[in-house]
Amino acid sequence: MARDSVATAWQRRFGRDGLGIGFGSDLASDFDISFDLGDAIGTRSWWLGLASCTALVGTAFALAFAVPALPGRQQPALTPAQQEVAALQAIAPLARGGATGTTALPNARLLEPLAEAPERPRIELTAKLSGRASFESALRRAGVGKSDIADVSRLLRPVANLGALPRGTSLDIVLGRRESRSQPRPLDSIAFRAAFDLRVAVSRVDGTLRLKRIPIAVDSTPLRVQGVVGSSLQRGLKQSGLPARLVSQAIATLGYAVDFQRGVGKRDRFDIVVEQDRAETGEVRFGDVLYLALKRDGKDAVELGRFGAGGHPEYFRANGESARKGLMKTPVDGARLTSGFGMRFHPLLSYSRMHQGVDFGAASGSPIMAAASGTISFAGPHGGHGNYVMVKHTKDLTTAYAHMSRFAVRSGQRVTQGQVIGYVGSTGLSTGPHLHYEIWLKGRAVNPVQLKFVGGTQLGGRDMARFREQMAKWRRVAVTGSAPAETAMSPLEKKRRAARG
């Protein structure tokens, strides 16, 4: 029996019951598909076995190529609009076509252009007067309308000199709501400092512009500075913090009374009182030099005071004698006499000749002052004199200044005593920066050092008493270490200054 033989072969190979899969069932007894095709070839059972084997292999073959993928849960596809948004929000390298940042927002579907943007209800701005801009043009540039500018100017003219406002003045402007874009905004308010002691504000109240004056308190205590002359009076004064204008005023004034090249030593002390205005807002302003003294080592002190006789203030010595008389003894500050008047051996020409003036050694660029009031009769290059200026004082008296580096005057110009006419240099026949100074009297050069002039006014009577009183007052002014800068101070500095008294 085939069944027996198959079972026997199975048992022979895998043990008694094969792999535990029993074929020895009733089905197997009727329909045995596990037939050894090597046995009993050609029998009915063999054909049955071959058919079942072919059927099994065919089924496996057929199934192997026809199994579809298992269905899973799928995301719905992005619409094109969603894809665009995702691309805009994603961060991707530009090299790979990332659109981030370049086309992020202008998106016709999301933005809708407005027909008209709403305007700010009011604009606060600060306009600064700069260059040659007038008050009116500054307002115009800030957007104030013509009629408002006219109204404001009309209101302000009686209280402020609009043409003379200092450069850098800040105008605080507020512009209000306008009815339409074609009109300028109406001026709501404007405020600025109109003078050292006055702030003005113009504001619109119930439709009309109203002016308000805000006075600024000003303290007018004079400023007193003292210091040591050092290498030159000019440098010493500058170090005390005085502005350049007052330094030259002080030097010109002292020049009437003091022979700078002989009368001033390095250890001499100066003492100066200057008009000073201090606003409560912290600004400082200086006026004129009121008092100046030079306390000299081993010499009489020089004391000069400003005194206004008939609207023409002048400087007087303590004894009431006018300081402004004759010629200034040294027309340049910081100078020392390097070569006197008379015959001398000329250093460049190498022979003796008449030296028709005196030489003052001074630093190049030091200001040269007119020794007395007069008219410039010559200003230009003049042979060995280099840049040369002649000042005609009277019919008979002329002074001349040589070797200048620069001129400060032109021919024909009127100058006053102490006015700067040029600067020390080394032009012409000169071995170094110095001033060659000549005095010509009736067409003849004279020795400036020996020349004596008399004249000038002398205070007397009531004027002298008032002058003495003033001098005593200035001598009592408290001394400040150095002059404050002529600029605004911070509130903190102001407080400290006030605390110091």
- Chain residues binding Zn ion by CB under 5 A are 359, 436
Provide the minimum distance between the beta carbon of 333 and Zn ion in the complex, in angstroms, as a whole number.
18
Contacts of residue 138, Cβ cutoff 8 Å, sequence gap at least 6: 127, 128, 129, 171
Nearer to Zn ion (CB atom), residue 401 or residue 407: 401
Contacts of residue 338, Cβ cutoff 8 Å, sequence gap at least 6: 359, 360, 361, 434
Nearer to Zn ion (CB atom), residue 306 or residue 436: 436
Provide the minimum distance between the beta carbon of 221 and Zn ion in the complex, in angstroms, as a whole number.
47
Q: Determine the Cα–Cα distance for residues 100 and 117; give it in Å rounded to an integer.
A: 28
Nearer to Zn ion (CB atom), residue 276 or residue 430: 430
Using CA atoms, how far residue 426 sits from 340, 385, 432, in Å, is 18, 9, 5
Q: Which residue's CB atom is positioned nearest to Zn ion?
A: 436
The phi and psi torsions of 420 (rounded to 5 degrees) equal: -75, 125
Radius of gyration of the chain, Cα coordinates, nearest whole angstrom: 54
Contacts of residue 77, Cβ cutoff 8 Å, sequence gap at least 6: none
User: Which uninterrupted H or E stretch holds 5?
Assistant: helix 2-14
Nearer to Zn ion (CB atom), residue 278 or residue 436: 436
Nearer to Zn ion (CB atom), residue 307 or residue 437: 437
Nearer to Zn ion (CB atom), residue 101 or residue 432: 432
User: Which uninterrupted H or E stretch holds 2?
Assistant: helix 2-14
436 beta partners: 359, 402
Provide the minimum distance between the beta carbon of 433 and Zn ion in the complex, in angstroms, as a whole number.
12
Provide the minimum distance between the beta carbon of 251 and Zn ion in the complex, in angstroms, as a whole number.
22
Provide the minimum distance between the beta carbon of 310 and Zn ion in the complex, in angstroms, as a whole number.
41
For 460-473, b/e burial (b = at least 16 CB within 10 A) is: eeebeeebeebbee
Nearer to Zn ion (CB atom), residue 340 or residue 365: 340
Contacts of residue 311, Cβ cutoff 8 Å, sequence gap at least 6: none
Provide the minimum distance between the beta carbon of 430 and Zn ion in the complex, in angstroms, as a whole number.
8
CA dihedral for 87, 91, 97, 101, sign (positive or negative): positive
Provide the minimum distance between the beta carbon of 344 and Zn ion in the complex, in angstroms, as a whole number.
9
Q: Which of 234, 255, 275, 219 is nearest to 474 (CA)?
A: 275
Which residue type is seen at 235? R
Contacts of residue 197, Cβ cutoff 8 Å, sequence gap at least 6: 215, 216, 217, 218, 277, 279
Provide the minimum distance between the beta carbon of 436 and Zn ion in the complex, in angstroms, as a whole number.
3
Q: With contact defined as beta carbons under 8 Å apart, do 306 and 231 qualify?
A: no
Nearer to Zn ion (CB atom), residue 256 or residue 437: 437
Provide the minimum distance between the beta carbon of 458 and Zn ion in the complex, in angstroms, as a whole number.
36
Provide the minimum distance between the beta carbon of 361 and Zn ion in the complex, in angstroms, as a whole number.
11
The owner of tokens 């007193």 is 224
Q: Determine the Cα–Cα distance for residues 249 and 281; give it in Å rounded to an integer.
A: 28
Neighbour-count burial of 422, counting CB atoms closer than 10 A to its CB (0-12 exposed, 13-18 middle, 19+ buried)? buried
